[in-house]
């Protein structure tokens, strides 16, 4: 008996499968495991680039000792610019010059990391690339030193700054505050530069910050009081602070003396520039 027409339609062959199902079947391997699909690319947030840039700055500051030195130098120079009452144009020149140094140091760190990623062995071209990057930092630093010298010291600059500060009439409290900040920045800068490995800003180091602050405040008392007895007592208290750092085996006599000279010298400069 010949098959009916309905029976012919009920018998499905692989060729008769719909194209959609055929594509689905072809995408499944014979062992039954599904093939991994390629990951769908996620949309980047508009602020991702800014976040990556900030992470790069934080990373270079954490890992590169010279970058920390440059950042402390930036803070010191800007504070000196505020103390010396530089005008807007001079501050812009100072900021531009400092930015060049920071940019050069960051490029230097990036080039060093890239060269170390490519090869760990000595190669003349690797040395050539690192030396050129370090030379760029040196050129930017020398340029910054020259600009700072012209702004702060050139053409009787100190006398001009002193006259400008007399017209501005800053208070003694402002001068003391600036002095304390400058001491912290200078002491931190010296410790970062002179210390190998982990830096401890508030204990030990090449310069005693306590001695510097003690003698700086002694200079402030001498200037404010104008009394001989008060001046002698202030100097004795500062000397006791310095001696306590040596007795506690935190600093050596050399480090204490350096801190004392820093406090006296910075105090003399600030209170000479500050009108009374």
Active site residue 255: no
User: How far is it, in rounded angstroms, from Cα 154 to Cα 151?
Assistant: 6
- Cβ contacts of 103 within 8 Å, gap of 6 or more: 140
Percent helix, strand, coil in the chain, to 5, is 75, 0, 25
Give how far the C-alpha of residue 53 lies from the chain's centroid of Cα atoms, to the nearest Å.
14
User: How far is it, in rounded angstroms, from Cα 68 to Cα 185?
Assistant: 12
Q: Which of 35, 55, 105, 255 is catalytic?
A: 105
Q: Kindly state the tokens that stand for 230.
A: 């008060």
- Cβ contacts of 268 within 8 Å, gap of 6 or more: 219
Distances (CA, A) of 44 to 41, 50, 54, 57, 181: 9, 12, 16, 21, 41
Catalytic residues: 105
């Amino acid at each position: 008996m010949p098959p009916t027409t309905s029976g012919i339609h009920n018998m499905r062959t692989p060729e008769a499968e719909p194209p959609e199902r055929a594509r689905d079947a072809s995408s499944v391997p014979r062992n039954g495991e599904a093939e991994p699909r390629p990951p769908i690319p996620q949309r980047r947030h508009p602020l991702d680039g800014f976040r990556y840039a900030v992470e790069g700055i934080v990373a270079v500051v954490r890992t590169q000792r010279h970058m920390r030195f440059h950042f402390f130098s930036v803070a010191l120079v800007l504070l000196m610019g505020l103390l010396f009452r530089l005008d807007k144009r001079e501050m812009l020149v100072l900021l531009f010059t400092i930015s060049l140094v920071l940019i050069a140091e960051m490029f230097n760190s990036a080039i060093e990391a890239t060269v170390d990623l490519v090869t760990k062995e000595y190669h003349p071209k690797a040395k050539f690339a690192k030396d050129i990057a370090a030379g760029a930092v040196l050129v930017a630093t020398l340029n910054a030193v020259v600009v700072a010298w012209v702004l702060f010291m050139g053409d009787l600059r100190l006398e001009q700054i002193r006259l400008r500060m007399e017209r501005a009439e800053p208070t003694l409290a402002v001068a003391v505050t600036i002095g304390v900040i400058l001491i912290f920045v200078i002491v931190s800068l010296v410790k970062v530069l002179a210390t190998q490995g982990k830096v401890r800003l508030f204990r030990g180091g090449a310069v005693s910050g306590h001695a510097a602050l003690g003698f700086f405040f002694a200079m402030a008392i001498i200037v404010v009081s104008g009394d001989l007895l008060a001046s002698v007592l202030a100097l004795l208290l500062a000397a006791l602070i310095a001696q306590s750092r040596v007795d506690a085996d935190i600093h050596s006599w050399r480090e204490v003396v350096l801190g004392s000279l820093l406090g006296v010298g910075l105090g003399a400069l600030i209170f000479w520039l500050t009108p009374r």
